[in-house]
Structure 1
Amino acid sequence: MAENHSENKKNETWEWIKSLGIAIILALAIHQFVFAQFMVDGESMMPTMQNQERLIVNKLIYHIHSPQRGEIIVFQYPSDTTKDFIKRVIGLPGDTIEVKGGKVYRNGQALNEPYLGEPTFGAYGPVTVPTGKVFVMGDNRNNSKDSRDPSVGFVPDNLVVGRADLIFWPVSNMKLFPFK
């Protein structure tokens, strides 16, 4: 009888070890291929996102379809791919982008951008977004290193990590971003 109890304990321990191993493998696979956590570093996306907020980024979505105008994406900084940037997609391939008179224009039409805190200073463009790339800008346009800066430029599709879907920390700022 004692031998049977000992055998049951061994089986139960082995089942727990297998379950824990499977859970770890699944968590790593989900992190690698589906979702990832990122932290906002800086003020370039204010007022939409605050410095030090934590995000869930959907890494799978752009294997299904390309980035869409208005989506907030995480991408590898083209001048140093060990760094990640968070910006809003303003232009897609073939779009002409221009900044003038405090507004951003896409294909000759001023954008309605209620998420901005102030007008966009300076002039830029017009430029046309090449195939396989996107044009991105921070929501805090006057304090953002974005596609207007030569070190960023047009962001190649292969450097896009994913779409920001959710701010989860701090909990008081929790927000799900609208999908296009």
Structure 2
Amino acid sequence: MENKVKNEWLEWLKAIIVAVVIAFFVHTFIFATSIVEGESMEPTLENGERVIFNKFIYIINEPKRGDIIIIQHPNKNYVKRIIALPGETIEVANNELYINGEKYQETFLSEEISKKTGRFGPIVIPEDSYFVMGDNRGISKDSRNGLGYIQRDEIIGRSEVIIYPFSEWDLTR
């Protein structure tokens, strides 16, 4: 009987160790969480929301326009939306976004918010760089005013799901 109890404890210990190793692997290489700080991504993401981001996706794929990404900077991580890709020309004129001379429809923005983007460009995005903006254009620190171009190696993942608060469970893409 004592041997059976000892074997059961060993099996439980093995299961716990395997679970911890798997959780560590998943958190380190595949998924992690981030807390949205500030209002720069409203209404898509709000201050205090916790999101799961996919670290693995950009190992097998390149970032795409419209992706909501996590950017790693020395002092802070940022959550922003990719607007323009390497080598593209971007311009905002008359409250409209143009990429490579063609009007780009930003379906994720209200007309009121798109008017706060300001006028800029045309500018050409350097190779291996991305142009990002927050969805709340009037107050966002982004490629227009402080973050500059985002290098490929600064992008650590793509936001996938809002996990907290629970009432906001939603896909962010």
Counterpart Cα distance in 2 of 1:94 and 1:88:
17
1:40 to 36, 39, 49: 36
CA contact (8 A) 1:99 1:120 kept: no
Q: Please, which moves more after superposition, 164-173 or 84-93?
A: 164-173
The runs of 5 or more residues in structure 1 that have no matched partner are none
Counterpart Cα distance in 2 of 1:152 and 1:99:
18
1:73 to 61, 69, 75: 69
After TM superposition, the score normalised by the length of structure 2 is 0.93
Quote how far apart the aligned CAs of 1:88 are: 0.5
Quote how far apart the aligned CAs of 1:122 are: 2.4
Counterpart Cα distance in 1 of 2:75 and 2:17:
30
After TM superposition, the score normalised by the length of structure 1 is 0.89
Kindly report the root-mean-square deviation, in angstroms, between the aligned alpha carbons of the 2 structures: 1.3
CA contact (8 A) 1:104 1:120 kept: no
1:152 equivalent in structure 2: 147
1:22 aligns with 2:18: yes
1:177 aligns with 2:172: yes
1:94 equivalent in structure 2: 87
Paired residues, number: 170
Which 4+ stretches in 1 moved above 3 angstroms? none
1:63 to 43, 59, 71: 59
Per the alignment, in what secondary structure is the counterpart of residue 132 of structure 2? Answer: strand
Amino acid at match of 1:165: E
Q: Please, which moves more after superposition, 116-125 or 131-140?
A: 116-125
CA contact (8 A) 2:53 2:157 kept: yes
1:166 aligns with 2:161: yes
Counterpart Cα distance in 1 of 2:118 and 2:86:
23
Per the alignment, in what secondary structure is the counterpart of residue 57 of structure 1? Answer: strand
1:137 to 125, 133, 140: 133
Counterpart Cα distance in 1 of 2:97 and 2:147:
18
Q: Please, which moves more after superposition, 63-72 or 126-135?
A: 126-135
CA contact (8 A) 2:44 2:172 kept: no
Q: Please, which moves more after superposition, 46-55 or 111-120?
A: 111-120
Quote how far apart the aligned CAs of 1:100 are: 2.3
Identity of aligned residues (%): 43
Per the alignment, in what secondary structure is the counterpart of residue 65 of structure 2? Answer: coil
The runs of 5 or more residues in structure 2 that have no matched partner are none
